[in-house]
Amino acid sequence: MGRPVKGRPRLKLWVVFGDVKFGEGRAELLDAMERLGSFKQAVERMGMSYRAAWGYFRELERAAGLKLLERRPGRGPQGGTRLTPQGRLFLRRYRRFRQGLDPLVARYFEQSFRD
Amino acid sequence: MGRPVKGRPRLKLWVVFGDVKFGEGRAELLDAMERLGSFKQAVERMGMSYRAAWGYFRELERAAGLKLLERRPGRGPQGGTRLTPQGRLFLRRYRRFRQGLDPLVARYFEQSFRD
């Protein structure tokens, strides 16, 4: 019974501000927005509702006390809705957290199921 | 922007064997079964379907290569469906893993969102 178990851990993860959750789907939406330079196009690409997505980020900004999105005038790579510097920092931190967690959890799983 | 973010992490976690997931709901079912000495009563208490729950544990045992449940004859505290020693070990390890993970994730969250 001391042998390690065959399974592996799987986790879903959010960062929660009050009653507003931020997770992988919304992080992908922000990535797509940065790539496309357009919130609207990113939302369509992800098959989301524009109103719901915009309302969600309003709520997130309020709950987190962060300004994440800004609309910049004009077309081209600088125009349209973009992440603020605060928004870029938040997304970078989330990515670091999310990616670093998998090996941490895997190691802890091995420990927990072996001793 | 160096101040810590207000949010906190929330996670849902499973141990996965092939295509069979074991998580909090099923762990609670096993706890209830041990307490009540009856798989059937535990399933009813949790509002689950007996057939589905029993089928699930069959699948889990097959996928994990573990014998988790055994039916013992008779009434009283020793009778009915119980965890095998392997099943008790598995549940204990799962609990240890699940409970130890929250502080680990909280610490890592603080680190990731502060630097």
ipTM value for the complex:
0.82
Q: Is A2 helix (H, G, I), strand (E, B) or coil?
A: coil
DSSP secondary structure of A55-71: HHHHHHHHHHT---EEE
The total of other beta-carbon atoms located within 10 Å of residue A8's CB is 14
Q: Which of A90, A93, A101 sits opposite B105 (nearest CB)?
A: A101
Euclidean distance between CA atoms B30 and A38, whole angstroms: 49
Of A66, A89, A104, the CB nearest to B104: A104
Tell me the pLDDT tens digit for each residue of B18-50: 999 999 999 999 999 999 888 999 999 999 999
Kind plus residue range of the DSSP H or E element containing A100: helix A85-112
Select the residue of B14, B85, B96 nearest A112 (Cβ to Cβ): B96
Strand partners, B69: B83
Dihedral, CA of residue A28, residue A29, residue A35 and residue A37, to nearest 10: -170
| Nearest CA among A101, A96, A94, A33 for reference residue A66 | A94
Predicted confidence at residue B77, as pLDDT, reads: 62
Give the model confidence (pLDDT) of A83-110 as tens digits.
999 999 999 999 999 999 999 999 999 9
* Burial class of residue A73, CB neighbours in 10 A (0-12, 13-18, 19+): exposed
The C-alpha of B23 sits at a distance from chain A's nearest C-alpha, in angstroms, of: 10
pLDDT above 70: residue B1: no
* Binding-face residues of A in 51-70 toward B, CB within 8 A: 64-66
* Residues forming a β-bridge with A15: A22, B9
Would you place residue B78 in the very low, low, confident or very high pLDDT band (cuts 50, 70, 90)?
low
Strand runs labelled E in chain B: 8-17, 20-22, 69-72, 80-83
What is the mean pLDDT for each group of 10 consecutive residues in chain A (115 residues)? 73 94 96 91 93 96 95 73 94 94 93 81
pTM of the model: 0.81
Q: How many CB pairs under 8 A join A and B?
A: 96
Task: Map residue B38 onto helix, strand or coil.
Answer: coil
Residues 84-103 of B with CB under 8 A from A: 85-86, 89-90, 93, 96-97, 100-101
Q: Which of A6, A89, A95, A102 to mutate to test the interface with B (most CBs of B within 10 A)?
A: A6
Measured distance CA(A29)–CA(A83) in Å, rounded? 11
